[in-house]
Amino acid sequence: MCTTYLATELVREFEDYDLIGNPRLVRLNPNVPWKTRGNGAISLLLGKGQGRKKKIGQIGKKSIHAYHFGVNLSAEKSDFERVCKVVDRLAVFDDENTNPGIVIFDRKPSESFYWHTARGIVTLEGLDFLVEPTFKKGWKNGRGQIGATAAVAWKPKDRTYEIIAYRERKKWGNKRKIDEASVISMDNKFFSTFNNYDYEEKHMAIAPNSPCPVLFGIRGDLELALPKAMKAVKSEAIDRWLIFLTNQGTDDHIYDYTIGNLKPFNSVRSVGVVSRNPEMLEGGHLVFRISSSGYEVDCTIYEPAKKFREIGAALRIGDIVIVYGGVREDPFTINVEKIKIEQLADYMEKVSNPKCPTCKKGMKSIGKGQGYRCVKCGTKARERDAVFKPAKRSISEGWYEPPVSARRHLSKPLKRMKIG
């Protein structure tokens, strides 16, 4: 089931503790082959709050607060059993990619574990190198413990927030009632939010497509703006809401790799020169090739990215690009998440055939690629003697990204890149 809903149930269960900081929703490497769709994990820091607190949610009539600071407490076996009970009650184990895991730490595991799980492949054996959790449990293949550990290990540098509003239980599985016009006006009014509405596909990106308890989620840079943004959306009744601290939209998964060093399942930023013109494959996927230092790699913009493919299709040999994306194993290709066209190659286009230097008349082509000949005196000319002018390109240098609906949770939207 939706992991974030589980967080609200844990908040309810552990009323006898204080929440220190927001619950965290942490997304991990989107290219791991055995992940769930969102590859997310949640973590809560429970203890005894100190000093100021802020409202971060509402469950039914009850306001949920989080303290800025607090005293850590050691977890008891009974705490662990309470967590297990909540997971057992809510987890849906049917999907083969749903492999829940719980970890409880009295001390934070190394931050590097987060970076490994956000950017690469971490196995259950990889967990052995860590501070041992005080308590742990894995269901099915147990891999959920990896994400859970990463969510605890995360020390935010760049960070965003997501306010998630949930549906009343009786509505689960039914069509969501959200007023589209109110989502568009919210998107225009709250500048610090992002990925709300897909203007290209006319799609409310705040609402999930799955039958989960989430009504909608609004992402943004400013926590303070989110409750108002939520209220600006006209919708069916909201059963509960909670503001998560997240790594969504931060590009934390991206790491610089030269083309010669690319490995499957990594998320990369690579610079290269277009070395083969784009080609549209069956199924509507667009492929172009880039090279650097003698190495080459294909880059694919998949069909769901819709109009973003037109950017790829306009690239030509010699263009310099910076490609962001996940490396796929088979076929070996970068699944493009974002692209910066650093430099467009100068292309010349033919204006007319060359003129005969003697007769001053236009010459005729001998055949494709074979040059020209004067019909009157027989003088020959080469292909490149024709009259050329700089070609006008259909794209400009700069940044491009897929429409909102086709973006990854972790991808930093251009809107955020301009802010920060």
User: CB pairs under 8 A, 24+ apart, for 335-338?
Assistant: 335/31, 335/300, 335/302, 336/299, 336/300, 336/301, 336/305, 336/308, 336/312, 337/267, 337/401, 337/402, 337/407, 337/408, 337/411, 338/399, 338/400, 338/401, 338/402, 338/411, 338/412, 338/414
**Minimum CB–partner distance for residue 351 and Zn ion (Å):** 20
Residue 29 near residue 118, CB atoms below 8 Å: yes
Q: Which is nearer to Zn ion, 323 or 356 (CB)?
A: 356
**Minimum CB–partner distance for residue 371 and Zn ion (Å):** 14
Q: Which is nearer to Zn ion, 290 or 381 (CB)?
A: 381
Single-letter amino acid, residue 411: S
Q: Which is nearer to Zn ion, 82 or 355 (CB)?
A: 355
Residue 2 near residue 41, CB atoms below 8 Å: no
Does 315 bind Zn ion (CB under 5 A)? Our answer is no
- What is the three-class DSSP state of 166? strand
Q: Label residue 290 left, alpha or beta by phi (over 0 means left) and psi (-120 to 50 means alpha).
A: beta
- What is the three-class DSSP state of 56? strand
**Minimum CB–partner distance for residue 350 and Zn ion (Å):** 20
Q: Which is nearer to Zn ion, 92 or 375 (CB)?
A: 375
**Minimum CB–partner distance for residue 380 and Zn ion (Å):** 10
Q: Which is nearer to Zn ion, 33 or 357 (CB)?
A: 357
Single-letter amino acid, residue 385: D
Q: Which is nearer to Zn ion, 104 or 386 (CB)?
A: 386
Q: Which is nearer to Zn ion, 215 or 363 (CB)?
A: 363
Identify which range of 132-140, 185-193, 245-253, 379-387 contacts Zn ion by CB under 5 A.
Answer: 379-387
Among 32, 151, 207, 374, binds Zn ion (CB under 5 A): 374
Does 245 bind Zn ion (CB under 5 A)? Our answer is no
One symbol per residue from 331 to 360: x for binding Zn ion (CB under 5 A), - otherwise; what is it? -------------------------x-xx-
- Report in angstroms the alpha-carbon separations of 404 from 205, 247, 282, 408: 7, 17, 24, 9
**Minimum CB–partner distance for residue 359 and Zn ion (Å):** 3
The residue count for binding Zn ion (CB under 5 A) is: 7
Residue 17: closest CA among 104, 111, 91: 104
**Minimum CB–partner distance for residue 384 and Zn ion (Å):** 19
- What is the three-class DSSP state of 132? coil
CB neighbours of 294 closer than 8 A, spacing ≥ 6?
260
Q: Which is nearer to Zn ion, 224 or 377 (CB)?
A: 377
Burial label, 292 (beta-carbon count in 10 A; 0-12, 13-18, 19+): middle
- Report in angstroms the alpha-carbon separations of 128 from 65, 284, 294: 35, 43, 39
Does 375 bind Zn ion (CB under 5 A)? Our answer is no
Identify which range of 52-60, 240-248, 371-379, 404-412 contacts Zn ion by CB under 5 A.
Answer: 371-379
Identify which range of 183-191, 264-272, 286-294, 367-375 contacts Zn ion by CB under 5 A.
Answer: 367-375
**Minimum CB–partner distance for residue 363 and Zn ion (Å):** 7
* Cis peptide bond prior to 331, omega within 30° of 0: yes
Q: Which is nearer to Zn ion, 336 or 386 (CB)?
A: 386
Does 381 bind Zn ion (CB under 5 A)? Our answer is no
Among 376, 382, 384, 389, binds Zn ion (CB under 5 A): 376
Alpha-carbon Rg for the chain in angstroms: 27
Does 224 bind Zn ion (CB under 5 A)? Our answer is no
Among 124, 222, 348, 377, binds Zn ion (CB under 5 A): 377
- Binding residues for Zn ion, rule: CB under 5 A, are 356, 358-359, 374, 376-377, 379
